[in-house]
Amino acid sequence: MARLDGKVAIVTGGVKGIGLATAKAFVQEGAKVVITDVDERNSAAALTEIGQDNAIFVKQNVADEAQWEPVFEAAEKAFGPVNVLMNNAGILSFNNAEEVTEDSWHKVLAVDLDGVMYGVKHAIAHMKDNGGSIINLSSIAGLIGISNLFAYNAAKGGVRMLNKSAALYCAEQHYPIRVNSIHPGYIHTPMVDAYPEMRQQLEALHPVGRLGEASEVANMAVYLASDESSFSTGAEFVVDGGYTAQ
């Protein structure tokens, strides 16, 4: 039996990168998947890669709370009650503590932190009776400081602590919901690969001497989505090639 047989999952930012790899891995393990993204243009190709019979696409801006309930409604209509939410959608902006602008600060936090908060809030409402797993994509930037990722550090650090608060709340309420975060290092994704001039420098930051693959983060997400992780909640799962061990 596949590890996610009978599961219904929502993966935000699912058209490319870690989100696409996760959606593919979920389907390979038996789940039905709803991918969401602002990138509607590339959604058809993503669905073909994932498997048309096992996935649908819903256009969504995660930073707009009004767009969350329609995603759950679409998932339930197509496949049934949602068991898994992977809060993956995110954006990156280089800025520092002296030169950050109000616009760039709020833009990053709106997607990378507010979007996760909305997802957690609405997932709890839909999962509290039947149970489920909420997986929040943070980053090594949620664990350590990086001087030119000021807003991103704030957002991913916020995800780390939001995750723990939500996990404790669900446990205290006796909701059968687990809430965990994944903290990748630098991964081969369109977000990172958009800066080829930094490739060698980024590889050198990891003791294993390379960037991670999106599939390696997806493997961790499969574990957290599955019943194998039934005693894990409020925890941080690091996938970083040894970066934060230094």
Options 3.90.1720.10, 2.40.37.10, 3.30.450.20, 3.40.50.720; which CATH number does 6-237 get?
3.40.50.720
Confidence grade of residue 196 (pLDDT, cut at 50, 70, 90)? confident
CA dihedral 145, 146, 147, 151 (to 10 degrees): -80
The CA-atom distances, in angstroms, between 183 and each of 141, 149, 151, 197, 240 are 8, 15, 17, 24, 7
Q: Return the active site residues.
A: 152
Give the pLDDT score at 194: 84
pLDDT greater than 70 at residue 224: yes
Mean pLDDT of 185-189: 92
pTM for the complete prediction?
A: 0.96
Mean pLDDT of 33-51: 97
pLDDT in tens, 6-23: 999 999 999 999 999 999
Give the pLDDT score at 178: 98
Name the 3-class secondary structure at 101: coil
Mean pLDDT of 61-72: 98
Q: What is the mean pLDDT of the chain?
A: 97
Give the pLDDT score at 157: 98
Q: How many CA atoms lie within 13 A of 134 on its CB side?
A: 35
Give the pLDDT score at 212: 95
Give the pLDDT score at 193: 82
pLDDT greater than 70 at residue 217: yes
Give the pLDDT score at 198: 85
Mention every residue, 6+ apart, whose C-beta is less than 8 A from residue 213.
Answer: 21, 187, 188
pLDDT greater than 90 at residue 191: no
Long-range contacts of 168-176 (CB under 8 A, 24+ apart): 168/234, 169/124, 170/124, 170/128, 170/233, 171/233, 171/234, 173/128, 175/124, 175/127, 175/128, 175/131, 176/127, 176/128, 176/130, 176/131, 176/132
Give the pLDDT score at 5: 97
CB 130 within 8 A of CB 174: no
List the chain domain ranges: 6-237
Across 18-22, 95-99, 197-201, least confident range: 197-201
pLDDT greater than 70 at residue 200: yes
Give the pLDDT score at 179: 99
Q: Which residues of 74-91 are buried (b: 16+ CB within 10 A; e: fewer)?
A: bbeeebeebbbbbbbbbb
pLDDT greater than 70 at residue 1: no
Give the pLDDT score at 195: 84
